[in-house]
Chain A
Amino acid sequence: MNDTVISLDALKIGSRETLAASVAGGCSSSTCGSAAGPADMPPQIWEKVKDHPCYSEEAHHYFARMHVAVAPACNIQCNYCNRKYDCSNESRPGVVSERLTPEQAARKVIAVANEVPQLSVLGIAGPGDGAYDWRKTRATFDLVRAALPDIRLCLSSNGLSLPDHLDELAEMAIGHVTLTINMIDPQIGTAIYPWIFWKGKRRTGLEASRILHERQMQSLEGLVARDILVKVNSVMIPGINDRHLLEVNRVVKAKGAFLHNIMPLISAPEHGTAYGMAGQRGPTAAELKALQDACAGGANLMRHCRQCRADAVGLLGEDRGQEFTMELVPETIRYDPSKRQAYREWVAREREDRRSAATQAQAVTGGTVAADTPPMLAAVCTRGGGRINQHFGHAKEFQLFEVDAKGVRFITHRRADNYCIGGEGIEDRLDAVIETLAGVPIILCAKIGDCPCASLAAAGIEAIDAYAHDYIETSLLDLYRQRHRQAERRATRA
Chain B
Amino acid sequence: MALQILAAQCSVCGACEFECPNAAIKFKKGAYRIDPSLCTECEGFHDSPQCVEVCPVPDTCVPARPAA
Chain A residues close to B by CB (< 8 Å) = 72-75, 77, 83-84, 99, 127-128, 132-133, 135, 197, 200-202
User: Secondary structure of the B side of the interface?
Assistant: loop
Taken together as a complex, chains A and B put the C-alpha atoms of A74 and B13 apart, in Å, by 8
Nearest Cβ in chain A — how far from B21, in angstroms? Answer: 9
Asked whether B53 lies within 8 Å of A73 as measured between CB atoms, the reply is no
Asked whether A73 lies within 8 Å of B50 as measured between CB atoms, the reply is no
Given the contacts A200-B46, A200-B50, A72 and B14 also touching, CB distance less than 8 Å: yes
Taking CB atoms, residues of chain B closer than 8 Å to A84 are: 11
Asked whether B48 lies within 8 Å of A73 as measured between CB atoms, the reply is no
Taken together as a complex, chains A and B put the C-alpha atoms of A84 and B12 apart, in Å, by 9
Nearest Cβ in chain A — how far from B14, in angstroms? Answer: 5
8 Å CB contact of A133 from B11, B14, B53? B14
Taking CB atoms, residues of chain A closer than 8 Å to B68 are: none
Number of interface residues of B (CB under 8 A): 16
Taken together as a complex, chains A and B put the C-alpha atoms of A74 and B12 apart, in Å, by 11
Taking CB atoms, residues of chain A closer than 8 Å to B13 are: 72-74, 83, 127-128
Taken together as a complex, chains A and B put the C-alpha atoms of A451 and B15 apart, in Å, by 55
Interface residue? B54 (CB, 8 A):
yes
Besides the known contacts A72-B14, A73-B13, A133-B14, 13 further A-B residue pairs in the complex with CB atoms under 8 A apart: A72-B13, A73-B15, A74-B15, A74-B56, A127-B13, A132-B15, A133-B18, A197-B15, A197-B53, A197-B54, A200-B47, A200-B53, A202-B54
Interface residues of B in 27-52 (CB under 8 A from A): 46-48, 50
A200 nearest CB neighbor, chain B only:
B46
Taking CB atoms, residues of chain A closer than 8 Å to B19 are: 197
Interface residue? B67 (CB, 8 A):
no
Interface residue? B57 (CB, 8 A):
yes
Taken together as a complex, chains A and B put the C-alpha atoms of A75 and B19 apart, in Å, by 11
Which of A73, A84, A99 gathers the greatest number of chain B CB atoms within 10 Å? A73
Taken together as a complex, chains A and B put the C-alpha atoms of A202 and B61 apart, in Å, by 14
Asked whether B48 lies within 8 Å of A201 as measured between CB atoms, the reply is yes
Taken together as a complex, chains A and B put the C-alpha atoms of A378 and B61 apart, in Å, by 56
Taking CB atoms, residues of chain A closer than 8 Å to B50 are: 200
Sampled A-B contacts (9; CB under 8 Å): A74-B13, A74-B56, A75-B15, A83-B11, A128-B13, A200-B46, A200-B48, A200-B50, A202-B54
Given the contacts A72-B13, A73-B18, A74-B13, A83 and B57 also touching, CB distance less than 8 Å: yes
Taking CB atoms, residues of chain B closer than 8 Å to A202 are: 53-54
Which 9 A-B residue pairings sit nearest by Cβ, starting from the closest?
A: A73-B15, A72-B13, A83-B11, A202-B53, A83-B56, A197-B54, A73-B13, A200-B46, A73-B14
Taking CB atoms, residues of chain B closer than 8 Å to A73 are: 13-15, 17-18, 54
Taken together as a complex, chains A and B put the C-alpha atoms of A197 and B13 apart, in Å, by 14
Taking CB atoms, residues of chain A closer than 8 Å to B57 are: 83
Taking CB atoms, residues of chain B closer than 8 Å to A201 are: 47-48, 53
Taking CB atoms, residues of chain B closer than 8 Å to A83 are: 11, 13, 56-57
Taken together as a complex, chains A and B put the C-alpha atoms of A99 and B46 apart, in Å, by 30
Asked whether A75 lies within 8 Å of B54 as measured between CB atoms, the reply is yes
Taken together as a complex, chains A and B put the C-alpha atoms of A83 and B12 apart, in Å, by 9
Taken together as a complex, chains A and B put the C-alpha atoms of A84 and B53 apart, in Å, by 18
Nearest Cβ in chain A — how far from B59, in angstroms? Answer: 14
Nearest Cβ in chain B — how far from A114, in angstroms? Answer: 29
A132 nearest CB neighbor, chain B only:
B15
Taken together as a complex, chains A and B put the C-alpha atoms of A84 and B56 apart, in Å, by 10
